[in-house]
Amino acid sequence: ECESYIKDENGRNLGCRFQNVKIEIEKAYFLVNGSSKDSVIQFYDKYIQLYKIEKLMPPSNITVSCDEIKTDCLIQWQQPQISHSGKDKCFKYGINIKYKDGGNKHTFQRYNTRKKYLLQMRTGGSTCLVSSAWGEWSEPLEFGE
């Protein structure tokens, strides 16, 4: 049974969102039934490795510490929580830094102390049983002067 349907602009159910699912190595069985007043809809069933379709959350506790003398910034974060792997080597991270007007750390060099920056991060899997697809971007984090 679906806990949270993904709907289109007409209110039709297009997908399902599951939360707090324990992902195992074995494949999960999905059976999808459709309904229509006008016609019979063929069911769809499939065995799926859940980690391949998991949508990863962005990293958490993102912080930026800038050194005005060296003009670099150290960006640190915590890996997203997933049920089946706690290894940081299983993830890759995307970092997007923009001027505000235009592992688990990253050093941003050539920092201009007179500008404001916006930082966003996202997560993807690199190895292990973690989806290789990129997840959603984090909320923007502002840093600089």
pTM of the model: 0.66
Q: Is 51 exposed, middle or buried (0-12, 13-18, 19+ CB in 10 A)?
A: buried
If phi > 0 it is left, if psi is from -120 to 50 it is alpha, else beta; for residue 37 that is: alpha
CB contact at 8 A, 120 and 96:
yes
Q: Which CATH number fits domain 60-144: 2.60.40.10, 1.10.340.70, 3.40.640.10, 3.40.50.300?
A: 2.60.40.10
Tens of pLDDT, residue by residue, the chain (145 residues): 788 888 899 988 888 887 777 777 778 888 888 888 899 989 999 998 888 888 888 999 999 888 777 777 888 999 887 766 666 777 888 888 876 554 666 666 666 767 788 889 998 887 777 888 898 899 999 887 7
Polymer length in residues for the chain: 145
pLDDT of residue 2: 82
pLDDT at 107: 61
Specify the pLDDT at position 102.
47
Residues of the chain with CATH 2.60.40.10: 60-144
**C-alpha distances in Å from residue 110, one per residue of 55, 71, 116, 117:** 33, 6, 13, 12
SS3 89: helix
- Is 106 in a helix, a strand, or coil? strand
> Nearest-CA neighbor of 83 among 17, 129, 36?
129
pLDDT of residue 71: 73
